[in-house]
């Protein structure tokens, strides 16, 4: 009797496992992800932003309950980010409207941990645990000596304290322990999710360009977009992984094209930081593909990179209005409001050097509107750290930067690690004018996920994954001369 019940339970468990495996395969398949992107873009064009949020949030909740690993949640998360980037302004009222959905998501997270527990001996804390813990301490104590309990425990301050500090650490540890066990396949799936997420952004920019080229809007319309820096930053965090799709051989041409289009979309926003960072990222990825591909693929990348450079030059020469507007924006780069805000940040640091003034300081509305739920925005990551968190924050964030650089340069050297490094480099470049690391969603969490994935996927990398420049002798050995 007992054996019969055990056998029946085993069969049911096997059927459930088989069904979830099939569902996961569908969720991460190219056709399904393409369909999801097209559907999201269609809803975006109809201004059905709430539908995008609810649909993708429910998909994340379903995937958390059905699958052990969290990779299938990545595309819905990116879809929410792109779908809301031009519309959603974070406010206390906006947060309250999302509380029911957030409550369901929290229940799904708890169920995920309960259904798919990690054995105590298998729990990973990661190489960056202590540096992120230190940042959590700095974020928690930032300006604490200047605030009363009412301000410190307000919704806005609690959100930023948790999201920038121990919340990011929790996300890091969670992702570390819930990535797929098949690391080689997971790299492709991870980059594919980002590839299709970036496609949503490319379609958005194509729609904006159509409005300009058809005469419905002037070229200046692109520069007036409230979200230009946000959009450019998000696109540039995704572009390197599209190039990885190409280099890894999954979508050699389409991956390269998508990476170029994502970088180009960042340029089209007329974001100054985005323009410079896009050139740096596209150049680094293109040169890497040329240097570290095999001889046969190297020909493809040399030709494609040359065509890319020529086309970019022609666009800059022929698009007179675009180039004139961009030049004017760069001409004013040193005299705009950022300079005044940086000076203000340094003066704040001098007045409150130990713990800074925290995240709730007000006053930069005299220079620029930052939104009802935004922190005191200094438009430079280093100034932000000094003014908001003081000397404690400088030490803790400095520890974090050093730790990230160490993880990147440590062996083994793999293609995936390089493209994560390029993403981090672009992230830091954007931080110089637009400190995106102090916007928890999506930038900080995306960077956290990328580093967690790199640690897991590149652990004990196989010999074939370790990169080496192919010199003349190796090329000759690869293609021996015919007799």
Which pLDDT score, from 0 to 100, does residue 107 have?
85
Confidence of residue 477 (pLDDT cuts 50, 70, 90): very low
Which pLDDT score, from 0 to 100, does residue 325 have?
61
Answer whether 101's CB lies under 8 Å from 55's CB. Answer: no
Which pLDDT score, from 0 to 100, does residue 332 have?
53
Instruction: Note whether residue 148 is domain-resident.
Output: no
Q: What is the pTM of this model?
A: 0.86
Residue 364 has pLDDT above 60, yes or no: no
Residue 397 has pLDDT above 90, yes or no: yes
Share of the chain above pLDDT 70, in %: 80
Least confident of 99-108, 175-184, 223-232, 388-397: 223-232
Residue 7 has pLDDT above 80, yes or no: no
Instruction: Note whether residue 7 is domain-resident.
Output: yes
Instruction: Note whether residue 392 is domain-resident.
Output: no
For the chain, give the mean pLDDT.
81
Instruction: Note whether residue 229 is domain-resident.
Output: no
Better pLDDT: 145 or 98? 145
Confidence of residue 463 (pLDDT cuts 50, 70, 90): very low
Instruction: Note whether residue 29 is domain-resident.
Output: yes
Residue 135 has pLDDT above 90, yes or no: yes
Residue 45 has pLDDT above 60, yes or no: yes
Instruction: Note whether residue 54 is domain-resident.
Output: yes
Instruction: Note whether residue 110 is domain-resident.
Output: yes
Which pLDDT score, from 0 to 100, does residue 478 have?
40
pLDDT, one tens digit per residue, over 403-442 is 999 998 887 788 889 999 999 999 999 988 888 888 888 8
How many domains in the chain? 1
Which pLDDT score, from 0 to 100, does residue 182 have?
74
Instruction: Note whether residue 461 is domain-resident.
Output: no
Which pLDDT score, from 0 to 100, does residue 386 have?
92
Better pLDDT: 154 or 262? 262
Which pLDDT score, from 0 to 100, does residue 471 have?
52
**Structure tokens of 285?**
């990825």
Least confident of 9-23, 328-342, 465-479: 465-479
Residue 129 has pLDDT above 90, yes or no: yes
Residue 345 has pLDDT above 70, yes or no: yes
Residue 354 has pLDDT above 60, yes or no: yes
pLDDT, one tens digit per residue, over 287-340 is 999 888 877 788 888 889 999 988 888 877 766 666 666 655 555 554 567 788
Domain that holds residue 95: 1-117
């Amino acid at each position: 009797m007992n054996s019969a019940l055990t056998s029946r339970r085993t069969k049911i468990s096997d059927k459930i496992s088989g069904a979830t495996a099939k569902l996961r395969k569908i969720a991460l398949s190219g056709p399904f992800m393409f369909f999801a992107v097209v559907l999201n873009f269609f809803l975006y064009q109809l201004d059905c932003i709430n539908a995008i949020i609810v649909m993708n949030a429910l998909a994340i909740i379903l995937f958390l309950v059905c699958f052990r690993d969290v990779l299938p949640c990545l595309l819905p998360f990116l879809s929410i980010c792109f779908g809301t980037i031009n519309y959603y302004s974070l406010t206390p009222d906006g947060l309250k409207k999302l509380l029911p959905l957030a409550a369901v998501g929290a229940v799904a997270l708890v169920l995920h941990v309960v259904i798919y527990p990690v054995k105590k001996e298998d729990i990973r804390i990661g190489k960056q645990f202590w540096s992120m813990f230190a940042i959590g301490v700095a974020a928690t104590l930032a300006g604490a000596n200047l605030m009363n309990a009412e301000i410190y425990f307000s919704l806005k301050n609690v959100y930023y304290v948790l999201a920038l500090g121990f919340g990011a650490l929790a996300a890091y540890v969670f992702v570390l322990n819930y990535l797929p066990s098949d690391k080689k396949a997971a790299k492709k799936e991870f980059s594919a999710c980002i590839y299709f997420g970036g496609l949503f952004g490319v379609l958005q920019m194509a729609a904006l360009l159509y409005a300009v080229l058809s005469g419905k809007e002037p070229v200046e319309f692109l520069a007036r977009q409230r979200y230009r820096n946000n959009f450019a930053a998000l696109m540039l965090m995704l572009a390197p992984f599209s190039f990885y799709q190409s280099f890894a051989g999954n979508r050699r041409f389409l991956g390269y094209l998508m990476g170029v289009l994502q970088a180009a979309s960042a340029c089209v926003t007329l974001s100054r930081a985005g323009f410079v960072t896009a050139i740096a990222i596209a150049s680094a990825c293109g040169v890497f593909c040329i240097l570290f591909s095999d001889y046969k693929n190297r020909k493809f990348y040399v030709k494609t990179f040359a065509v890319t450079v020529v086309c970019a030059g022609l666009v800059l020469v022929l698009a007179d209005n675009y180039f004139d507007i961009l030049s004017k924006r760069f001409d004013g780069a040193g005299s705009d409001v950022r300079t005044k805000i940086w000076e203000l940040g340094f003066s704040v640091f001098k007045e409150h050097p130990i713990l800074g003034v925290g995240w709730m300081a007000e006053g930069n509305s005299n220079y620029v509107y930052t939104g009802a739920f935004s922190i005191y925005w200094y438009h430079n990551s280093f100034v932000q750290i000094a003014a908001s968190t003081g000397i404690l924050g400088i030490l803790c964030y400095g520890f974090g930067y050093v730790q990230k650089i160490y993880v990147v340069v440590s062996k083994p050297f793999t293609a995936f690690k390089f493209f994560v490094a390029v993403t981090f480099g672009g992230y830091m470049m954007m931080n110089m004018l637009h400190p995106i690391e102090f916007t928890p969603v999506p930038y900080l969490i995306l960077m956290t996920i990328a580093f967690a994935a790199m640690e897991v996927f590149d652990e004990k990398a196989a010999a074939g994954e370790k990169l080496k420049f192919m010199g003349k002798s190796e090329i000759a050995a690869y293609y021996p001369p015919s007799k």
